[in-house]
Amino acid sequence: MPAPLASRWVSSAASERRVYVVERRTGWASWFDPAARQWGPARQLQLPEGNNTASVESWAACGVTTSGGGGASERLLVLAGGGGGNVSLWGVDGDTLLLDAEANNTSMPPEMSERLGGAGSIAAAAAGAASGYVYNASEPSKGAVRYELVDAGVGGGHGSYSDSDSKNDRHEKTWGKRSSGGSRWEWEWLPCPPAAAAAMSTSSSAVVVFACCGSSSAPNK
């Protein structure tokens, strides 16, 4: 493993070809090819011009998308947290590990990142190709946010809904405008079940479990 990534604070995302690794505090990234048994280049992630990389307090690998036959071109998805509580999601070229300012990048709705209790300790779980969950690694009982890239022709325009009158426990979904290619990002707030939150508050360690399904409906209560 490249020296800048020799840390206990790493996150990872995998495709059929590679395992991508990102150091959560410094943003150093690389990939490993299991078939060739070799590491790719190591690069410290930098936000595109016009964005303040120094304000990022935590990074997290959160998915890998592919295009072309046999996944010839891969794009690593990363979350960048910090900058006044903002959490943004960026596409990174799988070969060069350079962030792509022209990709379908997005930001978590501010009200959701605020509920997570800050963006300085974000982590991703159950990350798929372009979906997964974001939570506060320091305070997982705060709840979680589900993200998903929805293809063209699926769903409606942009907006949001809420299915409860309780500010702290409501289940919400927010979706943005479609990109030029027709896809769009969806964000869902998922409250932590009271029993799980109580268990976390009395234990020095906790296991965070997310239930994954193909439905975009609200979770069972």
* Mean pLDDT for the stretch of residues 116-140: 83
- Residue 1 belongs to a domain: no
- Residue 134 belongs to a domain: yes
Could you list the residue range(s) of the whole structural domain that residue 106 is in?
10-152+172-200
Tens of pLDDT, residue by residue over 134-145, are: 998 888 888 899
pLDDT value, residue 59: 94
Tens of pLDDT, residue by residue over 12-56, are: 999 999 999 999 999 999 999 999 999 999 999 998 877 788 889
φ, ψ dihedrals at 140, nearest 5°? -65, -20
- Residue 61 belongs to a domain: yes
What percentage of the chain exceeds 90 in pLDDT? 33
- Quick one: CA dihedral 178, 97, 114, 139, positive or negative? positive
- Residue 163 belongs to a domain: no
* Mean pLDDT for the stretch of residues 188-213: 66
- Residue 188 belongs to a domain: yes
Q: With cut-offs at 50, 70 and 90, classify the pLDDT of residue 150.
A: confident
Q: Which of residues 199 and 147 earns the better pLDDT score?
A: 147
Count of structural domains, the chain: 1
Q: With cut-offs at 50, 70 and 90, classify the pLDDT of residue 164.
A: very low
Diameter over CA atoms, the chain: 54
Tens of pLDDT, residue by residue over 166-191, are: 444 555 666 555 554 567 889 999 98
- Residue 2 belongs to a domain: no
pLDDT value, residue 156: 45
Compute CA distances 79 → 10, 107, 196, whole Å. Answer: 13, 9, 25
Give the C-alpha separation, 126 to 207, whole Å. Answer: 13
- Residue 80 belongs to a domain: yes
- Residue 28 belongs to a domain: yes
Give the C-alpha separation, 47 to 136, whole Å. Answer: 22
Q: How many angstroms from the chain centroid is the CA of residue 85?
A: 15
Q: Give yes or no for residue 79 having a pLDDT over 80.
A: yes
